[in-house]
Chains A and B, each alone.
Chain A
């Protein structure tokens, strides 16, 4: 579920190059984005969620671990507990707000890390070509040979549960596909006419990379990376669900889903809430990523 978009992002890079001046291109992208209501709405939802999560200590009515067994599993709408309470009597609203911090952190960090690590390696491979490219891509192929969920589960299962291990395993999962995308985009741009022309005029490798290659490849790699955030959140929550992710008492949506599972018969709505949060975030990231891709690809 991770590589299917590569040809499309290559299109975006070519489009950017074809459009000539960077300014005109980006202005066009902005214009198209502003017209795309779905992307705008999803982006707005993400911004609001991010704000709520960052401001959790100010907004949340209770601490994430404050609870009393006496008021456990109160239904949604209980006075003082807008979204009810969980299996240990902790306020669901506060847990979800604080939990978002961990879920977003575990969902986004691996993608960011993989973006920088994989992107750098991929650009080097694509630009250097030859033996360097060969060596890098063959090693990538090895890790690429594992289905993403399998690799995440196997690495986390080996390292043990924990937030850092979960981030590490997801980063390992996402680096190879990002290397592949970065390499193919860079190779594509490198072979384009204007890069050849720059080389013909005697521009050094460094200036070619800085002036011509980087601006044109970062966008597509970035788009590809944003499409991974949704996947990352779902796999991360899946790891917590299997008992391989975040450790309690840290609230995290996947873990909350796991510990609330047994309450699904008595308080189905509350048991469902963390699932809705994961779904909403993932959907918005995917729509925004789609919107960005469409906006940056002038083929349509």
Chain B
């Protein structure tokens, strides 16, 4: 045992010396740095830094938007209005008037961190890396991770050095949303890394506001400001950024309170009052997220009857759930958050009215001696699931009060996602508690399309509503952002009026900041801009 210990120590020393040597030269090159910004994220590990991050939206927040850019980006500069798409690596775009499936993107002047130029060749090389199985830079796992971003793309090509085109399979007015998290990596660095994406991920190069410095697996990602960023307004105000993956919420809070980190993502509601009392800043904002039960509409499901769906929605005491969450959530009034630009005017009001719920159930043929029996798949944790166990316990009580008996099938998050994809028939359940993102209409509500019923797509409950299908088709046919929002409002109205889900709350994504931090703006978005933060010494 002794000799083993010694061996590891020796190896440790050697490694440390090596790293110290490289770190030293790196430090010499860097400008004199002030206090670093250290962020504890809820990720369980550093996302893959190969321009196709894993770890869902959190992964994109730290492993995508920091080092890399997409053709279009979310404008994260305002807390007061919903974020919208703005030009990123494409400085402008247009749709071919003759063929609405053909998009032309004009690329901006920019350079990768390694100095190589961003141009049409680099763009096509990147599209090949996820679309073209025969390209040497194609990697199946990486392509899988980017799969949902590229599924509507049929063809692409270079027009000139600064211009490319992308053709979609169908007319798709939502393409820009899909492209907002398809990231571009440096082909030069890939070649340097021996044409190996794994080696690339150990020393990545993109065009983003942060450059990669070092990576300690499972523990820490060190980035530094990219002083040559193409958008001078977004050159980071703090030289060094550390991202620490800390999956356990309590450990994150303890790390903040012991001064190990400066900013904490995804706070547990119960920790907030004591953090406020201790002088920490709490920021929060509505963002495009809906905590709901996706329901099954198959014949044997009680939820096939709209009266049962409406009754369930009227039975939920959302105010109590918001109170349980310490007020750090918004009660749902529809699929979209109430302040979303495409909320519209749904007729069905999500009030708390147990009597009306009982009346509806009686009308549907249920009653005290014949309660509704449903089985719901839930998870004990997971991105966007908030505090799933406790929240579902409240809902279980609420529903029992009106005569709906709920049994839960608790799975781990990934197993639940598998069941989501397999569909309600396979899952043998009447509902599934997978929170929905409303960030991109393209990834959330699209799953209610009738043609996407399993196994073809993610229409878990086999929802089939011609009115909704038509409304969504109208959205895809729109290219003007404002007209598209108006069309999306019809979609929200159609789904809400049909009570197509058990709608509960929208998360406000509370974060805690050390009093040393200034300048953070929490955008109404899953992604956040950390470049504006200044750290006082």
Which A residues fall within an 8 A CB radius of B? 65, 67-70, 72-73, 87-88, 160-162, 243, 247-249, 259, 261-266
Instruction: Among A70, A87, A161, A265, point to the contact of B390 (Cβ < 8 A).
Output: A87
Question: Is A162 a contact partner of B410 (Cβ separation < 8 A)?
Answer: yes
Question: Is B397 a contact partner of A67 (Cβ separation < 8 A)?
Answer: yes
C-alpha spacing A264/B274, complex, angstroms:
10
Question: Is B408 a contact partner of A262 (Cβ separation < 8 A)?
Answer: no
C-alpha spacing A173/B158, complex, angstroms:
61
Which of B253, B270, B321, B408 has the most A CB atoms < 10 Å from its CB? B270
**Taking A65-B393, A160-B415, A243-B380 as contacts, is the C-beta distance between A266 and B274 under 8 angstroms?**
yes
Question: Is A247 a contact partner of B381 (Cβ separation < 8 A)?
Answer: no
C-alpha spacing A65/B274, complex, angstroms:
27
Task: Answer yes or no: B153 CB below 8 A from chain A CBs.
Answer: no
Number of contacting residues on B, CB 8 A? 28
Task: Answer yes or no: B157 CB below 8 A from chain A CBs.
Answer: no
Question: Is B271 a contact partner of A265 (Cβ separation < 8 A)?
Answer: yes
**Closest chain A CB from B116 CB (angstroms):** 44
Closest residue of chain A to B273, judged by CB? Answer: A266
Instruction: Among B249, B250, B324, B396, point to the contact of A72 (Cβ < 8 A).
Output: B324
Question: Is A248 a contact partner of B392 (Cβ separation < 8 A)?
Answer: yes
C-alpha spacing A73/B274, complex, angstroms:
14
Q: Write out the residue numbers on chain B whose beta carbons fall within 8 Å of the beta carbon of A87.
A: 270, 324, 390
C-alpha spacing A162/B253, complex, angstroms:
29
**Taking A69-B320, A249-B396, A266-B274 as contacts, is the C-beta distance between A161 and B412 under 8 angstroms?**
yes
Q: Show 5 residue pairs from A and B whose CB-CB distance is below 8 angstroms, ordered by the A residue.
A: A65-B397, A72-B324, A160-B412, A248-B393, A263-B270
C-alpha spacing A73/B323, complex, angstroms:
12
Instruction: Among A70, A247, A262, point to the contact of B250 (Cβ < 8 A).
Output: A262
Q: Write out the residue numbers on chain A whose beta carbons fall within 8 Å of the beta carbon of B393.
A: 65, 88, 248-249
C-alpha spacing A67/B321, complex, angstroms:
13
Q: Write out the residue numbers on chain A whose beta carbons fall within 8 Å of the beta carbon of B412.
A: 160-161, 243
Task: Answer yes or no: B417 CB below 8 A from chain A CBs.
Answer: no
Q: Which of B348-404 contact A (CB under 8 A)?
A: 380-381, 389-390, 392-394, 396-397
Instruction: Among B270, B323, B394, B410, point to the contact of A247 (Cβ < 8 A).
Output: B410
| Closest 8 pairs (CB-CB, A-B) | A262-B268, A247-B410, A265-B274, A262-B270, A243-B380, A69-B320, A248-B389, A249-B393
Interface of B (DSSP majority class): helix
Which B residues fall within an 8 A CB radius of A? 249-250, 253, 268-271, 273-275, 320-321, 323-324, 380-381, 389-390, 392-394, 396-397, 408, 410-412, 415
C-alpha spacing A264/B273, complex, angstroms:
12
**Closest chain B CB from A274 CB (angstroms):** 15
Q: Write out the residue numbers on chain A whose beta carbons fall within 8 Å of the beta carbon of B250.
A: 261-262, 264
Q: Write out the residue numbers on chain A whose beta carbons fall within 8 Å of the beta carbon of B381.
A: 243
Question: Is A69 a contact partner of B253 (Cβ separation < 8 A)?
Answer: no
Interface of A (DSSP majority class): loop
C-alpha spacing A177/B332, complex, angstroms:
54
Closest residue of chain A to B248, judged by CB? Answer: A261
* Besides A88-B394, A265-B270, 12 other A-B contacts (C-beta < 8 A): A73-B270, A87-B324, A88-B390, A88-B393, A160-B411, A161-B411, A248-B392, A249-B393, A249-B396, A262-B253, A262-B271, A264-B250
C-alpha spacing A249/B392, complex, angstroms:
9
Question: Is A69 a contact partner of B410 (Cβ separation < 8 A)?
Answer: no
Q: Write out the residue numbers on chain B whose beta carbons fall within 8 Å of the beta carbon of A68.
A: 320
Question: Is A248 a contact partner of B249 (Cβ separation < 8 A)?
Answer: no
Q: Write out the residue numbers on chain B whose beta carbons fall within 8 Å of the beta carbon of A162.
A: 410
Instruction: Among B249, B270, B273, B394, point to the contact of A69 (Cβ < 8 A).
Output: B394
Question: Is A259 a contact partner of B397 (Cβ separation < 8 A)?
Answer: no
Q: Write out the residue numbers on chain A whose beta carbons fall within 8 Å of the beta carbon of B253.
A: 262, 265
**Taking A69-B324, A266-B273 as contacts, is the C-beta distance between A248 and B408 under 8 angstroms?**
yes
C-alpha spacing A67/B323, complex, angstroms:
14
Q: Write out the residue numbers on chain A whose beta carbons fall within 8 Å of the beta carbon of B268.
A: 261-262
C-alpha spacing A83/B396, complex, angstroms:
24
Question: Is B320 a contact partner of A266 (Cβ separation < 8 A)?
Answer: no
Q: Write out the residue numbers on chain B whose beta carbons fall within 8 Å of the beta carbon of A264.
A: 250
C-alpha spacing A67/B393, complex, angstroms:
10
